[in-house]
Amino acid sequence: MQIPSDIADLALIRQYLHAHPELGLKEFRTADFLSNLLSDLGLEVTGGIGTTGIVASLRRGKGDRAIGMRADMDGLPISESTQKSYTSRHENRMHACGHDGHMAMLLGAAHALANDPGFKGTVHFIFQPAEENAGGAKLMIDDGLFERFPCDMVFALHNFPGMEVGKFAIRDGCIAASIDGATITVKGKGGHGAQPEKTVDPIVIGAQIVLAFQTVVSRNLGPFDPAVVTVGAFHSGSASNIIPERATLEMSLRATTPEDRQLMIHRLVELATAIARGFGGSVEFEWQAGYPVTINASKAVDVAQHAARQAGQEGIGALDSHNLEWLDNPCMGSEDFSFMLEQVPGALMFIGNGESPPLHSPEYDFDDAVMLFGVQYFTNLARIIFDD
């Protein structure tokens, strides 16, 4: 299979990827498929970065500047229910976040730039594994991504259900929240339900901790500083007349500045420890460090907004002032592209997916009509930067 210049044909590649999703760090078939297509374009392809990651490099001219463009590769452990002709062939594996579309758009941009004899510049097309579960961006960075492929700026697109096809959205600074998780073990002293005075009830302690956590945002952060604390699971006990020895809480937190992220972690531990001690018990935290705050750099946002306004228009100079939305608030979801933005200035842009089911839904599907705009966005970025 070859990368076609026709968007309708490019959709067939997207649909093939959709039918064969792979979970994080297991994207071996996907990586081989992409590598073959990119090699056929004459790009320098390096695989095995951060386990299954790929970088395909296009080098034209003698300049020393370079940019990176990133697409994520992995699917989710979800059984698809779309009933499309290209529905996932694999039980409990699905491209439910549009990564198939992200890969196809970046392939289309690689095709367009590789076949443009007038283009001069260096572009590293980064196909990243494990965005959903293992921080594949960090794994690639730890494997020397930016030492081996230096970039002056790096860019990514993510589809956005509910926003019109052909529209883009961005903001300067924080565009997506951090995510961290913790397992909290509350330790008490078990006993008979008829003699609670002889016990230290971990369920009571856990309940007080859950309620206290609801104040961490409202009483520690300003009213214009978005953040979320969620206790999504509470497990304890086995019978109505037995007070158990321990309880387990599963918690996540999201913040929109690095400072708020650290403050919340500190306050959560401080509150839970004090509450447990006050009741005669104790707590242990087991943290699952997640993704940092996704922070767009101003100079990259400036380039990105121009590239978006030109997408879908006739000619590189045509601008559409109505196809770009400036977001007032960050998205409270998280993105491991944040790891790349900690290393290199860049920007995450959202692209409309129309009135589709939400991300991570078994009914979700990427709209192939989006690809025209995504391919043009990525190619515009390169041309704007290297024509400067």
The ranges assigned to domains in the chain are 7-174+293-387, 179-291
- Identify the band that residue 7 occupies on the pLDDT scale cut at 50, 70 and 90: confident
The yes-or-no verdict on residue 316 having pLDDT over 50 is no
Q: What is the 3-state secondary structure of 221-235?
A: CCCCCCEEEEEEEEE
Give the integer Cα–Cα distance in Å for 142 and 138.
6
Distances in Å between the Cα of 313 and the Cα atoms of 61, 216, 273, 308, 310 are: 27, 47, 58, 10, 5
Give the integer Cα–Cα distance in Å for 237 and 186.
12
Say whether 132 is catalytic. yes
- Is 3.40.630.10 the CATH classification of the domain at 7-174+293-387? yes
The yes-or-no verdict on residue 367 having pLDDT over 90 is yes
In this predicted model, what pLDDT tens digit does every residue of 27-81 receive, in sequence order?
A: 999 999 999 999 999 999 999 999 999 999 999 998 899 999 999 999 999 999 9
Assess whether the region 7-174+293-387 and the region 179-291 belong to the same CATH fold. no
Q: What was the pLDDT predicted at 320?
A: 61
What value does the mean pLDDT take over residues 365-369?
Answer: 97
Provide the percentage of residues in the chain whose pLDDT is more than 90. Answer: 93
What does residue 199 show for φ and ψ, rounded to 5 degrees?
-120, 170
Q: What was the pLDDT predicted at 315?
A: 43
Q: What was the pLDDT predicted at 63?
A: 86
Its pTM stands at: 0.93
Catalytic residue, chosen from 72, 180, 260, 335, is: 72
Angle at 135 between CA 133 and CA 136, to 5 degrees: 105
- Is 3.30.70.270 the CATH classification of the domain at 179-291? no
- Identify the band that residue 272 occupies on the pLDDT scale cut at 50, 70 and 90: very high
The yes-or-no verdict on residue 288 having pLDDT over 50 is yes
The yes-or-no verdict on residue 186 having pLDDT over 60 is yes
Q: What is the mean pLDDT of the chain?
A: 95
Q: What was the pLDDT predicted at 133?
A: 86
Say whether 32 is catalytic. no
Catalytic residue, chosen from 100, 132, 335, 336, is: 132
What value does the mean pLDDT take over residues 180-209?
Answer: 98
In this predicted model, what pLDDT tens digit does every residue of 86-119 receive, in sequence order?
A: 999 999 999 999 999 999 999 999 999 999 999 9
Q: What was the pLDDT predicted at 312?
A: 67
- Identify the band that residue 9 occupies on the pLDDT scale cut at 50, 70 and 90: confident
In this predicted model, what pLDDT tens digit does every residue of 291-307 receive, in sequence order?
A: 999 999 999 999 999 99
Q: What was the pLDDT predicted at 375?
A: 95
Q: What was the pLDDT predicted at 213?
A: 98
- Among candidate residues 37, 72, 75, 73, the one with its CA nearest the CA of residue 56: 37
- Among candidate residues 46, 112, 78, the one with its CA nearest the CA of residue 363: 78
What does residue 66 show for φ and ψ, rounded to 5 degrees?
-150, 150
The yes-or-no verdict on residue 317 having pLDDT over 90 is no
The yes-or-no verdict on residue 4 having pLDDT over 60 is no
> How many Cα neighbours within 13 Å face the side chain of 204?
15
The yes-or-no verdict on residue 207 having pLDDT over 90 is yes
Higher pLDDT, 132 or 312: 132
